[in-house]
A and B are shown apart, each in its own frame.
Chain A
């Protein structure tokens, strides 16, 4: 069954439970956008080429994060679409920006837009000319094409592909492990990080790179690991291009899946692994919050249903999950919840009624996991978890358990937190 706004999971279709409708975006801005993600490439400069009106959002993002010195724009005007000059103006505009930069970056990220697609601008030619003119600079093609949001590669996946596109084949590789595709550093307490260190290998991730040379070092590792499904295409492309071993250890809150992942990693790295006590902290959190409702949204984790399943199985009263559609890899969790916890409400996170349904008074009987549901449920008891926050495996369960207790005990200044764009993005 499909609905416009919400329905119990027991009645839901997989993987698209909702019908299309007008959409609303709540003022929960913590998720990273294409500007934030691109900033992870050290010593890079971003150039957005678009109509002035569409540039406002990314300009504000760069300004809010104080990254104006790593960000430029080239504005498109109407006559370019008529007289055929859009392609040459794209080249000239980028050229002009580069010439004006006081210090040359190592890489230029060019973000073209929908109108370049509509007018069939030959980007291959554009980059060939720019590379010839600036042989010491690296260029990569990025896209701000909201009209293509639901066709072809999703912009988030594409951005995560381009994030690694400038890594050259290294002169020599080592037996290190590079973690691909996440915007937060992996927790040093996670079993993923701990096992890599225990094996004596070097652990690398893009979040730790401040210099171009460190970014290039990401290519030295023999093994690439990714956990976020949005990173799959980027990880596959890099592994194929540099001929690396690629391992997918999906984020999950299902203890059996985590154990499988950890055993796989243990075997790969040749280090022992013993299942930790992951349930004590969770059970303690469950006793602590007692009958408070739990609500979850998809921005908190790539696996919101797996999280709902874990919490429901440990005595938490999960009342709702806000999302746009189900992650295809959560079919098993979906079926489990449908059968065992059919009353959990699945709510379309962009439905235009939601701001009107929002309670006027702050709600104390609900703990939110994720920024969007914290806003919609109007609760100050919330866990500010975004895109799994670098927490992996059993450590993620442990960390979340503590965060739930903390959310129960302390109120958070929700507005101050969720209105910050790209939470945790540092330049």
Chain B
């Protein structure tokens, strides 16, 4: 099973990229599950026609141990399975602990086996700020970490921090850094800056997504660009990245 955790600075485009990668992997015949690991619970909205799915944590609160797999996971666009961990209201509780509880519930429900999942994408909130946010890269969850960044200073700073967290866990058998996806914001020398970042953290650039009008148009329609404009440049890059991720050498 291909298991990928997507990290990156808030607002960098993780959910949009995750949803498009899910479709790209689906197009290659894989049975895909995308799990939003963010209290906002909006990772999969492009796969559910903008409809909110009930987060697992809320369902645990409502149903406790009676929660069923078909309630925790929903079928989204093109048959991609969608789940949202959810979390406490803003400013309350512990979001990290929420992610742990939600992922443990999916284990308990035997989701990966029962749905015959070939690829899982964990779309993780912002930075690796505590144990909860490192959960998706733990032994037993993702094998590969993909960091999303642009050439903006803060995005690259967050990317370095995430890479450092992965490095800190390197002797634990946790997920390995598979590479960077550059989501261009058209800042000066963006390609050179991100290339330098990749070198400094010892990884590769898996693909560079151009700033794209098609992505924005697709989002207005609550669709991944791969579904709305499958022939555009962005879609081509998504397909290429999916191919590289499937490649076991990464």
Residues of A near any B CB (own CB < 8 A)? 117-122, 124-125, 150-152
Q: Do residues B139 and A120 form an inter-chain contact, with CB atoms below 8 A?
A: no
B193 at the A interface (CB under 8 A)? no
Q: Mark B77-112, 1 if CB is under 8 A from A, else 0.
A: 000000000000000001011001000000010000
| Closest A residue by C-beta to B135 | A120
Is B65's beta carbon under 8 Å from chain A? Answer: yes
Q: Does B29 contact A (CB under 8 A)?
A: no
Task: Provide the main secondary structure of the chain B interface.
Answer: helix
The interface size of chain B toward A, counting residues with CB under 8 Å, comes to 17
B131 on the A face (CB < 8 A): yes
CB distance from B139 to the nearest CB of A (A): 6
Contact, CB under 8 Å: B65 / A121: no
Residues A122 and B96 in contact in the complex (CB < 8 Å), given A151-B64, A151-B65, A152-B65: no
- In Å, the complex CA distance between A150 and B60 comes to 12
Counting chain B CB atoms within 10 Å of each CB, the highest count among A119, A122, A152 belongs to A122
Nearest CB of A to B101, in Å: 9
A-side contacts of B132, CB under 8 Å: 120
**Contact: A120 with B96, CB < 8 Å?**
yes
Interface residues of B in 191-229 (CB under 8 A from A): none
> Which of A120, A125, A152 interacts with B100 by CB under 8 Å?
A120
Contacts of B97 in A (CB 8 A): 117-118, 120
Per-residue A-contact encoding for B128-140, CB less than 8 Å = 1, 0 else? 0011101100111
**Contacts A117-B97, A120-B131, A120-B135 given; 18 further ones with Cβ under 8 A?**
A117-B100, A118-B94, A119-B130, A119-B131, A120-B96, A120-B97, A120-B100, A120-B130, A120-B132, A120-B134, A121-B131, A122-B138, A122-B139, A124-B139, A125-B139, A151-B60, A152-B65, A152-B108
The reply to whether A122 and B64 form a contact with Cβ atoms under 8 Å apart is: no
Q: Cβ of B131: which chain A residues have Cβ within 8 Å of it?
A: 119-121
Interface flag for B113 (CB, 8 Å): no
A117, A120, A125, A151: the one within 8 Å of B172 (CB): A125
Which residues on the A side are within 8 Å of B100 (C-beta)?
117, 120
- CB neighbours (8 Å) of B64 from chain A are 150-151
Contacts of B60 in A (CB 8 A): 151
A151 to B60, CA, bound (A): 10
Q: Which residues of B contact A121 (CB under 8 A)?
A: 131
Residue of A nearest to B101 (CB): A151
A122 and B94 contact, CB distance less than 8 A: no
Do A122 and B172 touch across chains, with their CB atoms under 8 A apart?
A: yes
CA–CA, A119 to B138, complex, Å?
A: 13
Interface string of B3-47 (1 = CB under 8 A from A): 000000000000000000000000000000000000000000000
Query: What is the minimal beta-carbon distance from A26 to any residue of chain B, in angstroms?
Result: 27
B44-72 Cβ-contact flags toward A at 8 Å (1 or 0): 00000000000000001000110000000
Q: Which residues of B contact A151 (CB under 8 A)?
A: 60, 64-65
Question: B106 → chain A, closest Cβ, in Å?
Answer: 14
A182–B140 CA distance with the chains assembled, in angstroms: 34
Chain A: minimal CB distance from B98 (Å): 11
A250 shortest CB reach to chain B, Å:
22
List the 9 closest A-B pairs by CB distance, nearest first. A120-B131, A119-B131, A120-B100, A118-B97, A125-B172, A120-B132, A120-B135, A124-B139, A122-B138
**Chain A minimum-CB-distance residue to B97:** A118
Complex CA–CA separation, A152 to B131 (angstroms)? 21
Chain B residues with Cβ under 8 A from A119's Cβ? 130-131
Q: Nearest Cβ distance between residue A128 and chain B, in whole angstroms?
A: 9
Q: A122 to B132, alpha carbons, bound, how many Å?
A: 11
Q: How many whole Å from B206's CB to the nearest CB in chain A?
A: 27
A–B complex contacts, Cβ < 8 Å, 6 sampled: A117-B97, A119-B130, A119-B131, A120-B97, A120-B135, A152-B65
Please name the residue on chain A nearest to B60 by beta carbon.
A151
Q: How far is the CA of A96 from the CA of B135 in the complex (A)?
A: 28
Give the chain B neighbours of A152 by CB distance below 8 A: 65, 108
Closest to B131 in A: A120
Compute how far the CA of A121 lies from the CA of B139 in the bound complex, rounded to whole angstroms.
Answer: 12
Q: Which residue of B lies closest to A86 (CB)?
A: B131
The CA of A152 and the CA of B139, in the complex, are separated in Å by 21
Q: Which residues of B contact A117 (CB under 8 A)?
A: 97, 100
Complex Cα gap A152–B96 (Å): 19
Residues of B within 8 A of A122 (CB): 138-139, 172
Please give the distance in Å from A79's CB to the nearest CB on chain B.
Answer: 15
> Residues of B contacting A125 with CB < 8 Å?
139, 172
Give CA–CA (A306, B135) in the complex, Å: 46
Encode contact with A along B113-157: 1 for CB under 8 Å, 0 otherwise: 000000000000000001110110011100000000000000000
CB distance from B141 to the nearest CB of A (A): 11
